[in-house]
Structure 1
Amino acid sequence: MPAIAQAGETASADARTGVQQLIRADLDDQDLERLSLEELSMVEVTSVSRRPEVLADAAAAIFVISAEDIRRSGATSLPEVLRLAPNLNVQRVNSVDYAISARGFNGYETSNKLLVLVDGRSVYSTLSSGVFWDARDIMLEDIDRIEVISGPGGALYGSNAMNGVINIISRPAGDTQGTLISAGAGNEDARLAIRHGGSFGDNGAWRAYLQAFARDESLDAAGNGANDDADGLRGGGRVDWTSGDNRLTLQGDAFENEVAVNEDTLGTQTYVRGANLLGRWVRPLAGGELQAQAYYDRFEREEPGTLEESDTWDLSIQQAFERGRHQLVLGAGHRVVESAFTAAPGGAFLDPAERRLTLTNVFVQDQITLTAGLTLTLGAKFEDNSFSGQEFLPNVRLGWHRPGGDLLWASVGRASRTPNRIERDLTLPGFLTGADFQSETATAYEIGYRANPTPEIAFSINAFYNVYDDLRTVSITPVTFLPLSLTNNGEATTWGVEAWGSYDVSERWRLSAGVSTLTKDYDAPLTPDDISGLISIGDDPEYQVLLRSEADLTDSLELDVRLRAVDDLAATDGYVEADVRLGWRMTDRLELSLTGQNLIEDSRYETGDPLRRRAFGRSVFAALRASF
Structure 2
Amino acid sequence: MSMLSRAPFLYALCIFVSSPVIANIDNEFDDLDALLNMPLESLADTKVVTATKTSLSLSDVPASVHVITSKEIERSSARSIADVLILAPGLHVAKFSDYDWTVSARSKNQGENNTLLVMIDGRSAVNPMYSGVNWDTLPVSLDSIDRIEVVLGPVGTMWGGNAVNGVINIITKDAESAPKAQLSASTGNFDYKEFKAHHSGQISENTHLSGYIESLQHSPFTDTDEHFKELRHLKVLTERFGMRADYQNLQNTVSVQFGGIQSREDYQWLTYTPAFLDPTTHKNDYDVFLTEMNSQELFAGFQYLHEKLNGNQWENQLWVTHSESDSTNEPASFTRIDLDTRYTFNTQDWGILTLGANARIIDEEYAQFSEKEQYFSPYIRTIDDHKFLNQSYGFYANWAVDVTDSTEITLGNRIQYANITEEWYSQPQVRALQKLTDNQRLWMGWGRAVITPSRLELDTQFQKNSYCSSCAYTVNPDGSVNYYDYMMSYHYLGNRDLDMESVDTYEIGYRYWQDNQFQVSLSLFYSQHDNVRAYRGLGGSRYFTPDSSQHSSGTIIDDMFAQLVDPLSQETMGGEVSIQWQPIDVLQINANYSYKTIEGDCNGSICGSNELPILDLENTPHHYATLHVMWDIHPTVWVSSVVNYVSASEPDEALIQAYQSYGDDYTIWPEVVTIDMSINWQHKPTWPSIKLSAENLGSDQLKEYPEQFGPFANGTQYYAELSWNFI
Could you state the TM-score of these two structures normalised by the residue count of structure 1?
A: 0.89
Partner of 1:505: 583
Match of residue 563 from structure 1: 643
Which residue in 2 is equivalent to 1:515?
A: 593
Give me the whole-angstrom Cα distance separating, in 2, the residues matched to 1:104 and 1:55.
25
The 5-angstrom pairing of residues 358-437 of structure 1 reads: 358-388=391-421, 389-427=423-461, 431-436=491-496, 437=498
Give the C-alpha shift of residue 178 in structure 1: 3.2
1:45/1:55 contact within 8 Å kept: yes
Equivalent position of 1:241 in the other structure: 247
Matched residue of 1:131: which SS?
coil
How many angstroms apart in 1 are the aligned matches of 2:201 and 2:41?
34
Q: Is the 8 A contact 2:242 2:258 kept in 1?
A: yes
Are residue 550 (structure 1) and residue 666 (structure 2) matched?
no
Question: Contact between 2:393 and 2:416, CA under 8 Å: does it hold in 1?
Answer: yes
**What are the Cα deviations for residues 96-140 of structure 1, in whole angstroms up to 9, with x where unaligned?**
11101111221213x211001101110111111110112115211
* Amino acid aligned to 1:385: A
The answer to whether the 8 A contact 2:36-2:632 is kept is: no
Q: Distance in 1 between matches of 2:49 and 2:269?
A: 38
SS at match of 1:617: coil
Matching of residues 609-624 of structure 1 within 5 Å: 610-624=708-722
Contact 1:411 1:445 in 2 (8 A): yes
Alpha-carbon contact 1:221-1:613 (below 8 Å) kept:
no
Aligned to 2:88: 85
Q: Partners of 1:459 and 1:129 in 2: how far apart?
A: 33
Output the amino acid matched with 1:350: I
Question: 2: distance between equivalents of 1:428 and 1:555?
Answer: 56
1:37-186 aligned at under 5 Å gives the runs 37=40, 39=42, 41-109=44-112, 111-176=113-178, 178-186=180-188
CA distance in 1, matches of 2:595, 2:329: 42
Query: Separation in 2 of the partners of 1:262 and 1:405?
Result: 57
Tell me: CA distance 1:546–1:479, structure 2 relative to 1, closer, same or farther (3 Å): closer
User: Within 1, Cα distance between the matches of 2:598 and 2:693?
Assistant: 36
Residues 424-433 or 558-567, more deviating: 424-433
For this pair of structures, how many residues does the alignment match?
598
Cα distance in structure 2, aligned partners of 1:539 and 1:127 = 26
- Helix, strand or coil: the match of 2:437? coil
Aligned amino acid, residue 457 of structure 1: F
Call closer, same or farther: CA 1:135–1:217 in 2, change over 3 Å: closer
So what's the TM-score if we normalise by structure 2?
Answer: 0.77
Q: Which residue of 2 is the match for residue 340 of structure 1? A: 365
Q: Provide the rounded CA distance (Å) in 2 between the counterparts of 1:137 and 1:248.
A: 21
Measure how far apart 1:235 and its partner are.
1.4
Q: Which residue of 2 aligns with 1:492?
A: 570
1:11-36, CA deviations, whole angstroms, 9 ceiling, x for partnerless residues?
xxxxxxxxxxxxxxxxxxx9786454
The equivalent residue for 2:317 is 293
- Equivalent in 340, 350, 353 of residue 328 of structure 1: 353
The alpha carbon displacement at 1:534 in A equals 5.4
Change (3 A) 1:179 1:316: same
SS of match in other structure, 1:107: coil
CA shift digits 1:555-596 (9 cap, x unpaired):
211111111111114423202121111111322353211111
Amino acid at match of 2:384: D
Q: 1:392-430 deviations in whole A, cap 9, x for unaligned? A: 000111101112321110001101102111111113799
The offset of 1:603, in angstroms, is 1.6
Other structure's SS at 1:82 match: helix
Task: Give the superposition deviation at 1:369.
Answer: 0.4
Rg comparison, structure with higher value: 2
Distance change (3 Å), C-alpha of 1:491 and 1:304: closer
Distance 2:196 2:353 in 1: 41
Task: Indicate the SS of the match to 1:80.
Answer: helix
Structure 2 CA distance for aligned equivalents of residues 57 and 140 of structure 1: 28
Structure 1 contact 91–107 (Cα < 8 Å) conserved? no
Judge which range, 278-287 or 208-217, deviates more. 278-287
Task: Note the C-alpha offset of 1:177.
Answer: 6.1
CA distance in structure 2 between the partners assigned to 1:283 and 1:467 by the alignment = 39
Q: Which has the higher mean CA deviation after the structures are superposed, 489-498 or 607-616?
A: 607-616
Amino acid at match of 1:424: L
Partner of 1:319: 343
**Alpha-carbon spacing, 1:242–1:457, altered in 2? closer, same or farther (3 Å):** closer
- Aligned residue runs from structure 1 range 231-310, under 5 A: 231-259=237-265, 268-285=291-308, 287-303=311-327, 307-310=331-334
Check 1:456–1:298 CA distance in 2 against 1; reply closer, same or farther (3 A cut). Answer: same
Partner secondary structure for residue 453 of structure 2: coil
**Counterpart amino acid of 2:252?**
N
The DSSP-based 3-state class of the residue aligned with 1:175 is coil
- With over 3 angstroms needed to count, the CA separation of the structure-2 counterparts of 1:472 and 1:260, relative to structure 1, is farther
Secondary structure at the aligned position of 1:254 is classed as strand
What amino acid maps onto 1:329 in structure 2? T
Asked whether the equivalents of residues 419 and 438 of structure 1 are also in contact (C-alpha less than 8 Å), the reply is no
Is the 8 Å Cα contact of residues 670 and 705 (structure 2) preserved in structure 1?
no
Task: Look up the match of 1:574.
Answer: 671
What is the one-letter code of the residue matched to 2:593?
V
| SS in structure 2 at match of 1:174 | coil
Native 8 Å contact 2:420 2:453 kept in 1: yes
Q: Assess if the C-alpha contact under 8 Å between 1:146 and 1:169 holds in 2.
A: yes
| Contact persistence 1:90–1:98 (CA under 8 A) | yes
Q: 1:31 to 1:410 in 2, by over 3 A?
A: farther
Q: 1:71 and 1:221, CA in 2 relative to 1: closer, same or farther beyond 3 A? A: closer
Residue aligning to 1:230 = 236
C-alpha separation between the residues in 2 aligned to 1:310 and 1:540? 33
Are 2:99 and 2:220, in contact at CA under 8 Å, matched by a contact in 1?
Answer: no
* Aligned-partner Cα distance in 2 for 1:306–1:47: 30
State the shift of 1:431 in Å: 4.6
1:134-163 C-alpha deviation (Å, 9 max, x unpaired): 211521111110001111111111111011
The answer to whether the aligner puts 1:445 opposite 2:523 as a matched pair is: no
Query: C-alpha distance in 1, partners of 2:105/2:692?
Result: 30
| 1:587 paired residue number | 684
Distance in 1 between the 2:574 and 2:225 partners?
36
Q: Deviations over 1:27-72 (max 9, x none)?
A: xxx9786454453541211011110011111121111011111111
Distance 1:583 1:339, change over 3 A: same
Deviations 1:367-391 (A, max 9, x none): 0101112100111111111233111
Matched to 1:353, the amino acid is: H
Gaps of at least 5 residues in structure 2 are 1-32, 271-287, 375-379, 464-489, 542-558, 650-666
Q: Tell me how far apart the structure 1 counterparts of residues 65 and 331 of structure 2 sit (CA, whole Å).
A: 37
Counterpart code for 1:298 = H
Equivalent in the alignment of 1:215: 218
1:255 Cα deviation after fit: 1.9
Paired residue for 1:16?
none
The aligned runs of 1:595-610 (5 Å cut-off) are: 595-608=693-706, 610=708
Which moves more between the two structures, 390-399 or 134-143?
134-143
Paired residues of 2:567 and 2:602 also in contact (CA < 8 A): no
Stretch deviating more after TM superposition (323-332 or 310-319): 323-332
The runs of 5 or more residues in structure 1 that have no matched partner are 1-29
* 2:105 and 2:166 in contact (8 A); partners too: yes
Distance 2:678 2:356 in 1: 44
Contact 1:306 1:343 in 2 (8 A): no
Q: Which stretch shows the higher mean deviation, 441-450 or 335-344?
A: 335-344
1:221-273 per-position Cα deviation (integer Å, ceiling 9, x unaligned)? 94543766411111120011134532111101122111256999986531011
Letter in 1 for 2:639: L
Q: CA RMSD in A?
A: 2.8
Is the 1:66–1:144 contact (alpha carbons within 8 Å) kept by the matching residues of 2?
A: yes
Paired residue secondary structure (2:428): strand
